[in-house]
Structure 1
């Protein structure tokens, strides 16, 4: 008889394709661009995340302490794969929010305008060292989606957007060093340097009580700031942990 290897070799030499391709057309989708009406999407993916972050009051270095996520994946086809996708997508988003800064050449030379951080060797990527000690992920129960493959939803990209809670937790932790109720600006991404300058701005506002910026209430994020005995004003002791969100 003909072996599989011989079959493949013969087909290759005869330029015969050994695979087939198909395309799935989701039913029920329609959109009218003129009236901006219709149903352009089959479903929406929902999720919620809560981040607990600790910020070093001296260096500005943020540290993830705990992450809790609940994600809607419909009826999961493979829970372990979906959990891994959620964890990986979320950590990728954390990299975008806190480490992966885009820097451009601003010199007057021929390289002006060139992206300097164009590869993983030129910026910091999240690693296992950035994983929080507590990382809880749950799949939303009883979330069957009708009209899709076995009631499931795609999960490759939605978790990335949940990482905004980490950035907001860092911002609120920085705000805890300043006057109560003051909105704190924080650069993006929230690198250790950006966090340091946000801390400095918050401390400076303590000596400027006339700054009465409205507080910005954020839901779904939690943050903790920890002081350092080497901070010049010494307002926070090293063993103190002050909740930045109630």
Structure 2
């Protein structure tokens, strides 16, 4: 049975998402939102968040290596490319398969976001891409819940091998870095007037990612303890993006 803390987190997430469903952010708040995010630039650059010439854009080298080692199994190489998205076969689903599928779908979206903000900020295109990230994560939540409702023995299997909790942690951390470093770049790049459109979308993505984390942590005991030290480099970014709910779910120091 879910613990009180988990139930409380789910309630908090639902309230946070609902309260931010409408773009009610004031111009002053949006301006502050952008200024605070801009203050994270030096730290982000130091960890390579702005790098685009990589298979996992925005993911620090140590996390990227952990991800690559985890997903390259003896039977299947789950390489990070759009062509390798795992088919949605419920009978073959597992936590790693679902999460690697999320990663593979998000990578090309993140690349498009990074390409747009370096050339010409097209707000309508950015809105669509951020919406894609939201929908990809939301779809994964449906898959995770289906897996929870119909548990199988190989819940941590990928390519015929049972992954360790640490390996699953690297996959989760990779997803978080991919998403939030890309959103950080968007917020630091667009004009204040455009932030009035972008900010509510960023909050919405944060809410759905927080929900995904709760669902995964419910199924994989001890995973949150492994993930936290892998994503401490994201704390400043998450707080600057006003994604306190994600920080809360992870139990990161604010």
Task: Give the TM interval when normalised to the shorter protein.
Answer: under 0.3
Larger RCO, structure (CA 8 Å, separation 6 or more):
2
TM-score scaled by structure 1? 0.23
